[in-house]
Amino acid sequence: AQKVTQAQTEISVVEKEDVTLDCVYETRDTTYYLFWYKQPPSGELVFLIRRNSFDEQNEISGRYSWNFQKSTSSFNFTITASQVVDSAVYFCALSEETSGSRLTFGEGTQLTVNP
Amino acid sequence: DTAVSQTPKYLVTQMGNDKSIKCEQNLGHDTMYWYKQDSKKFLKIMFSYNNKELIINETVPNRFSPKSPDKAHLNLHINSLELGDSAVYFCASSPQGTSGPNNEQFFGPGTRLTVL
């Protein structure tokens, strides 16, 4: 069965600090897909990134970067030089090849960036 | 221009009532989903339809019945509403069904249901 764990329930940082959100997953499939979504206070779910299990290359998009490590079953998300607008709940999610298209979400991490 | 839309955005109703939430996507996607987000922000899939066919049905009470009149619409009907049904319900769509779990799921804005 697939499972996603985001151990950090809440993180609070001061603007311009770097912050890393942890995500650990469990799956028996060899083919799977990992996602990060952002949920700002307005409530919508915003897609950030998708990674498949065969692509362990780290990715950088502006101030965002993702570190995928199959050896530790982790897919961590780092925000560099955080800004107040980054304040949101961030969800890590997993989809297995054999489970169809369902996304299994982690519990989410509430990130608060203070000015 | 809205990709995935849901109506209504807010729904307040009494216990025991029957209500529906509508979802429409204009992305040409084959697969649509309903997720429930509880008060602790936990998101869990409820249903998934691929080309109007039910492909995922999680352990959801029979009071919840999805209906897909065409592949652009997936409505959620809830009978005999209970207090525990209060949550935010998200509709989503993706290009492919079971053959493409790597596809991004586009989410609607959510419907906040409050049962009094």
Nearest by Cα to A22 from A115, A111, A109: A109
Q: How far apart are CA A11 and CA B71, in angstroms?
A: 40
- Per-residue pLDDT band for B98 (boundaries 50, 70, 90) equals very low
Q: What are the tens digits of pLDDT across the range B39-90?
A: 999 999 999 888 888 888 887 889 999 999 998 999 999 999 999 999 999 9
pLDDT in single tens digits along all 115 residues of chain A? 789 999 999 999 999 999 999 999 999 999 899 999 999 999 999 999 988 898 888 888 999 999 999 999 999 999 999 999 999 999 999 998 877 678 899 999 999 999 9
Residue B95 sits at the chain A interface (C-beta within 8 Å): no
Owner of token pair 């697939």: A2
Nearest by Cα to A5 from A109, A106, A92: A106
Residue of chain A with shortest Cα separation from B47: A102
Specify the length of chain B in residues: 116
Question: B54, B105, B106, B111: best mutation site toward chain A, by most A Cβ within 10 Å?
Answer: B105
* Burial grade of B116 (CB within 10 A; 0-12, 13-18, 19 or more): exposed
Specify the length of chain A in residues: 115
| Residues β-bridged to residue A46 | A38
